[in-house]
Chain A
Amino acid sequence: MGRLSGRLDDVTADAGYEDHPPRVGFFTDTSVCIGCKACEVACKTWNSVPDDGYLLTGMSYDNTQALGASTWRHVAFVEKSSEVSLPVDLGMPSMSLPGADPSAAGQATESGDGVVTWLMSSDVCKHCTHAACLDVCPTGSLFRTEFGTVVVQPDICNGCGYCVPACPYGVIDLREDDGRAFKCTLCYDRLKEGQQPACAQACPTESIQFGELDELRERADARLAELHEKGVDVARLYGRDPEDGVGGGGAFFLLLDEPEVYGLPPDPVVTTRDLGSIWKHVAMAAAALTGVGVAAAVGRRR
C-alpha cells in the first residue's frame, strides 16, 4: 500500500518498482513565463486532447480558465492593478529605499491609470509524492509509473469520479461526453522513448523545465537565491518541499505572489493523511450501530 504521507525519498520503489529510472518532473519558473500558451497547444496536439469549448471569459487573456479533463496545461494570467509599484523609479517620496520595492519583479507595465502587474504561470498536474487521486481510485486505473509519475489507464477507468474531489489542486476531471477521468500523463509515451514532455519542449523561454527531480530542485534553489539577491523578495518555491502536505510535487513552481493568486491551494494536504482517523471513526460508528441493534433487542418485550 505504500506510505500515505510525510517525506518519501523514493516514491517509485515505495510503489513496488525494484529497478527503476530516476524520478522526473517539471520545474515551472513563472518569472520567465511570457504567457504564449505554446505549452497548452503542444500538449493538446501531442496527446490528441479534444477541445473543451471556445468560450471567451472576459476576465483576462485566460480563456482556458482551469485545468481539466481536456486541459492538461493551463496558463494563468493575473493582472493586478497597483498604484505603488512603478516600473521606473521616478524619485517619488516613499517609506523605503528608492527602487527597493521589488513587487514589480520585472513584469510590470505602465497603463493609463497606474500600473498593471502581470503574472503568468503555466499550471499542470503536480504528480504528487502522495497522490490522493491514485489512493482513492477503486479500480487501480490510476497508477504510479516507473518514472514516479501518476497516470490514468483509460482502458480500466470506469468513470466513478472519486479522483475528482480527492485532488487538492482540482487537476483531474471527468470528460463529460466520454465519462472517464483524464489528466496530464507527463507524456508517459515520450518518456519511454527518452524524450521530454511536449510542453517543456515547446516552451520558448525555458519557463517549463523537465528533468530529474533532484536536479530540478537544485536548479530551483539556485534560481530562487538569484532572484532574492536581485531584490525580488516575493519569489518563492511552491511544491518543492518534500515535507509538505503531499510529500512534495513531481511538478513544482517558482511563484511571484501567494499561491492562491494563481488559483493554487496555499497549503494542500493529501486527504489520505487522515485515513487512519477516518477508518477509526467509521469502525467506532459501525460498532455503535451494532450496539443500537443490541440495545433495541434487549428492551421490553413489546
Chain B
Amino acid sequence: MTPRGETSMVPPPEFESYYGRQIIKTPTWKTPDVPLYLFLGGMGGASAVLAEVAASSGRPDLERVARVTAAGSAALGTVALVHDLGRPERFLNMLRVLKPTSPLSVGSFILAPFASLSGAAAASFLTGRLPRLGRLAGVGAAALGPPLATYTGALLANTAVPAWHEAHRELPFIFAGSGAAAAGGMAMVFSPCAQAGPARRMVLMGAAMEIVGAERLLDRIGLVGEPYRTGRPGRLMSVSRSLTAVAAGATLVLGRRSRAVSALAGAACVGASVLTRFGIFEAGLASARDPKYTVVPQKERIAARERAAVGR
C-alpha cells in the first residue's frame, strides 16, 4: 500500500461482481444509536476508572463528575442499545445465554453489572448514604470499565465487514484511548483545574493511544483501510484526529493554568471521541457496500495460496 498523500502508480484493482452489487449485507445497526453507544461505553468505562483515581487521591469534585459521567453514560448507552433492537421488548433475551463467541453477549454481561454498580456508586456519592458500599460498587465499576470501553472493538471486528474485521488488532486500543480522552475531557469541563490533574493525564495518554492506534491501523490494513481515509468517514476521522491533537496540546500547555482553556480542550476531546466512533462506524458501512473490499482481498488471498502451493 502506498503511504497516504502519495499518488499510487499501481492502477486501481480490477475485479468482477454481480452487476456491481455488494456481497455482504450492510449492518442494520442504526445511526446514531450504535455509534453513540460505542462512544458512551468508552467514556463511561474510562470514567469509572477515573472516579476511583479521584476517590483514592481525595479529589471530591473530580470524583463527582467522573461518577456521574460513568453512571449517566451507562444508562444512556443501555437506552441506545435497547432502542437499536428490532424487538426492544425482548432486550432481556440478551441475558438468556452467555456466549464467548458473541461479543454482544459478553458485552451485555459487562454492561448490565457496570450500569448497576456505577449507578449505585454515583447515587451513594451524591446522597452521602452507604459510603462504604458505594465505594465498593465504584471499585467494581472501575474493574468492569476497561472491558466495557474495549469490548466494542470486538463487537465490530467479529463480523465479515472488511474495514472492521481487518482492524481487529487496533480497534480495541483506539476505543480505549478515545474513551480515556473523552472521560478525561468530560472531567476537565466540569471540575476545577486544581483537582483535574488525573483527568489531564488521562486526556494526554488517551489521545496518544488513539492517534497511534489509528495510524498503525491505516499503515497495516491496506486496501480495506481506504474507507477510513476517504468520503464522509474519512473526513470524520481526520477532523477527530486534528481535534484530539489540538486539545491534547492545549491541555499540556495551558490545562493547569487556564480554566477556560481546560474546559474548551475537554469539550473538544469529548467531541473528537464522538467523531471517531461515527467515523469508524461509517467506514465499516462503506466497506460493506462496495464489493471491491470483499472481493479483491479474497482474490489476493487465493492467489497467495496458489503461489505458495506452486513454490512448495
Contacts and interface: CB of A to CB of B under 8 A. Distances in A.
Contacts of A38: none
B52 A293 contact: yes
B86 A161 contact: yes
Contacts of A290: 49, 146
Contacts of B291: 260
Interface residues of B, number: 87
Contacts, number: 259
B197 interface: yes
Interface string A186-223: 00000000000000000000000000000000000000
The dominant DSSP class at the B interface is helix
A284 interface: yes
Interface residues of A, number: 74
Contacts of A161: 27-29, 84-86
Contacts of A157: 86-87, 90, 93
B150 A289 contact: yes
A160 interface: yes
B201 A265 contact: no
A160 B84 CA distance: 7
A266 interface: yes
Interface in B75-124: 84-88, 90-91, 93-94, 96-97, 99-105, 108
B245 interface: no
A158 B176 contact: no
A169 B45 contact: no
Interface string B41-56: 0000110011011001
B16 A173 contact: no
B158 A281 contact: no
B86 A263 contact: no
B253 interface: no
Contacts of B199: 296
B21 A282 contact: no
Given A132-B160, A156-B96, A295 B205 contact: yes
18 contacts: A139-B96, A157-B87, A158-B85, A158-B88, A160-B104, A164-B27, A260-B18, A264-B23, A265-B295, A268-B160, A274-B165, A275-B100, A279-B100, A285-B175, A287-B146, A289-B145, A292-B206, A296-B198
Which 6 A-B pairs have CB atoms at the shortest separation, nearest pair first?
A: A159-B86, A179-B86, A263-B18, A285-B172, A158-B90, A138-B105
